[in-house]
């Protein structure tokens, strides 16, 4: 009948001509619909019985049970105090272990930890610690001075490859032992005089030594456990896992599912257990700030590790008492490769530093939450204030650049500004590029590299100008200033000054009086800033959302948390839930 049509048209014609009854069609659709809804239900389970609408949120439930839900940034790489290096590990390791001293979360001065008291010799080189007799390991053993000797031997053992072993290099002979120049550990200056007396001999008075004893690299570890799981210098040991880990801190490890959560519970035999008011803390890895923000708003977290920069103004309107923005012991700066022309000319470096309007940067692209900085060490580092050697002065900047042979930027070569790939770094680099172009007429080009590539290029001094950040390990100017000793591993700028080296390596460690020492550091920092090998931009701030039911998460410049002092007040949270 339709044979005159070509084949393709024939098909279309058939489809069009076959009559479909509407009822038939509806029936078949309904059937398919039913099937697929069924599939969805089987697949996903009933969604009605989950959600947050009916029951309590995790935060509300936590307030009733005394369980703190803690957003902790990146997933901890491990929990071995001698191996880990990160910030997120620090919070957990400090809950599971305790050093000779602990820091007061308000003043950051040291307080008794495992050591009840200590004596320091007149010349500041011999520390004698009296350990409390009721400090226990979580398996019931007593923490003794021998534990500390063995633990310090462990972190200094060359084969372990502990990145933070240098924290103990102030101890007599420790550095030589760690470098393999000395194999007899009994020559290293740490001795157990008896079970509860530990004596430490320093190679030179190190005024910030007590501060280091609250760093996890100096924590004691449980010898029988480590020996059971592969021995002293085995990095791949399983000892720091739930079920195996034995610690001496206020909490014990009960659960750790990687990339999901890590739970610690109150240690009832901890020497100060009566004062611990939390029953448990659950740490969540929250690498994705956006996800963390949603978790907080959904009532899954008591505390976030970060706040999205762009959300801060909104939250300040909406829930000001939950926004915690505080100064942090960290500096954001750029550094120059002082070996490469034209950055080998101090006038060029100064001109570039003076051409930047830091106040404007902070107010515009940084939401006003960071402090503009003109030096390396953050202000008020345990009473230390850095010198201010220059200020925003585009007029003088242009003059300096002209003196260096580039009047109005003429002849200035194009140069790369290196930063690791991240939106925040890019935004800042663009702003600096603009400021340098408009004030000095010099052509900066942006060069972003993936983290490890960026690190390698910095290490090899294969850059011209580069972004850099530094967070202090302990509260003392030295944690920043010792970066810039000649050929120091973290220097990476080519900065070298004999007087600077003398202060940092010789004079300051010998000066016991804090004020006198800070004067020396001021002198050193002035030298550093007058060479302008680094270009300070701002001082970091920590940014946390903290639920109103949480108390005792005291802000401090180290962002240091002592969970022993934290408690939850359910009443407050019921009120806020009712709002």
Cα 414 from Cα 239, distance rounded (Å): 53
CB of 241 to other proteins, least distance (A): 7
Calpha distance 19→21 (Å, rounded): 6
Return the number of the residue (38 or 360) whose C-beta is nearest other proteins.
Answer: 38
Q: How far apart are CA 467 and CA 454, in angstroms?
A: 10
Q: Which CB, 165 or 562, lies closer to other proteins? A: 165
Cross-strand bridge partners of residue 69: 282
C-alpha span between 185 and 176 (Å, rounded): 10
Give the strand pairing for 415-420 and 444-449: parallel
Structure tokens at 32: 């398919």
Q: Minimum CB separation from other proteins for residue 538, in Å?
A: 17
- Length of the chain, in residues: 579
- Which among 384, 368, 362 has a CA at the least distance from the CA of 523? 384
Closest to other proteins by CB, 470 vs 500, is: 470
- Cα 458 from Cα 335, distance rounded (Å): 10
Report, in Å, the least distance between residue 2 CB and other proteins: 13
**For the residues of 391-421, what is the DSSP string, one character each?**
---HHHHHHHHHHTT-GGGTTPPPEEEEEES
> DSSP secondary-structure letter at 59?
H
Least gap, CB of 206 to other proteins (angstroms): 19
Contact 129, 180 (CB under 8 A): no
For other proteins, the closer of residues 304 and 522 by Cβ is 304
What's the closest the beta carbon of residue 429 comes to other proteins, in angstroms? Answer: 18
Is the CB of 45 or the CB of 140 nearer to other proteins?
45
How far are the Cα atoms of 179, 209, 513 from residue 169, in angstroms, in the given order?
11, 10, 21
Please report how close the Cβ of residue 75 comes to other proteins at its closest, in angstroms: 8
Residue with Cβ nearer other proteins (98 or 473)? 473
Closest CB 547 distance from other proteins, rounded Å: 16
Please name which of 521, 240, 257, 513 lies closest in space to residue 387, comparing C-alpha atoms: 521
Q: Which is nearer to other proteins, 41 or 193 (CB)?
A: 41
334 versus 518: smaller Cβ distance to other proteins: 334
Shortest separation between residue 52's beta carbon and other proteins, angstroms: 5
């Amino acid at each position: 009948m339709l044979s005159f049509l070509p084949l393709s048209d024939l098909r279309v014609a058939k489809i069009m001509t076959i009559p479909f009854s509407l009822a038939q069609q509806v029936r078949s659709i309904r059937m398919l619909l039913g099937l697929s809804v069924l599939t969805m239900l089987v697949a996903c389970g009933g969604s009605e019985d989950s959600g947050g609408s009916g029951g309590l949120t995790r935060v509300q439930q936590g307030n009733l049970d005394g369980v703190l839900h803690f957003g902790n940034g990146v997933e901890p790489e491990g929990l071995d105090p001698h191996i880990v290096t990160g910030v997120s590990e620090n919070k957990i390791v400090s809950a599971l272990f305790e050093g000779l001293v602990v820091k007061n979360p308000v003043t950051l001065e040291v307080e008794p930890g495992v050591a009840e008291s200590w004596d320091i010799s007149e010349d500041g080189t011999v520390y004698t610690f009296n350990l409390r007799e009721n400090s226990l390991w979580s398996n019931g053993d007593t923490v003794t001075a021998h534990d500390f000797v063995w633990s310090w031997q462990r972190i200094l053992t060359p084969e372990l490859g502990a990145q933070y072993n240098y924290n103990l290099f102030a101890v007599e002979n420790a550095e030589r032992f760690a470098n393999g120049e000395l194999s007899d550990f009994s020559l290293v200056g740490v001795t157990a005089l008896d079970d509860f007396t530990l004596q430490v001999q320093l190679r030179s008075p190190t005024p910030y030594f007590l501060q280091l004893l609250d760093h996890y690299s100096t924590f004691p570890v449980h010898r029988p456990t480590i020996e059971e799981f592969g021995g002293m210098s085995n990095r791949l040991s399983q000892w720091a896992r739930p079920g195996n880990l034995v610690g001496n801190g206020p909490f014990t490890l009960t659960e750790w599912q990687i990339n999901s959560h890590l739970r610690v519970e109150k240690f009832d035999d901890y020497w100060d257990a009566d004062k611990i008011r939390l029953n448990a803390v659950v740490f969540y890895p929250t690498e994705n700030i956006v996800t963390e923000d949603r978790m907080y708003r959904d009532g899954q977290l008591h505390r976030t590790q970060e706040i999205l920069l762009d959300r801060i103004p909104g939250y300040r309107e909406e829930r000001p008492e939950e926004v915690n923005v505080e100064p942090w012991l960290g500096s954001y700066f750029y550094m120059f490769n002082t070996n490469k022309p034209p950055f080998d000319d101090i006038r060029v470096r100064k001109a570039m530093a003076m051409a930047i309007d830091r106040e404007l940067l902070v107010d515009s692209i940084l939401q006003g939450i960071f402090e503009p900085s003109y030096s390396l060490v953050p202000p008020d580092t345990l009473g230390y204030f850095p010198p201010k050697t220059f200020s925003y002065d585009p007029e003088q900047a242009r003059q300096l650049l002209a003196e260096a042979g580039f009047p109005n930027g003429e002849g200035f070569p194009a140069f790369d500004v290196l930063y690791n790939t991240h939106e925040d770094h890019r935004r800042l680099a663009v702003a600096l590029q603009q400021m340098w172009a408009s004030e000095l007429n010099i052509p900066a080009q942006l060069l972003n590299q993936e983290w490890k590539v960026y690190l390698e290029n910095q290490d090899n001094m294969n850059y011209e100008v580069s972004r850099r950040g530094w967070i202090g390990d302990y509260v003392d100017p030295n944690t920043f200033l010792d970066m810039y000793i000649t050929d120091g591993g973290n220097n990476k700028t080519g900065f070298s000054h004999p007087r600077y080296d003398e202060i940092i390596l010789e004079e300051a460690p010998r000066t016991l009086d804090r004020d006198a020492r800070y004067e020396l550091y001021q002198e050193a920092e002035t030298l550093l800033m007058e060479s302008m090998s680094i270009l300070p931009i701002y001082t970091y701030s920590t940014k946390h959302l903290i639920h109103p039911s949480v108390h005792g998460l005291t802000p401090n410049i180290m962002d240091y948390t002592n969970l022993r002092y934290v408690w939850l007040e359910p009443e407050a949270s019921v009120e806020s839930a009712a709002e």
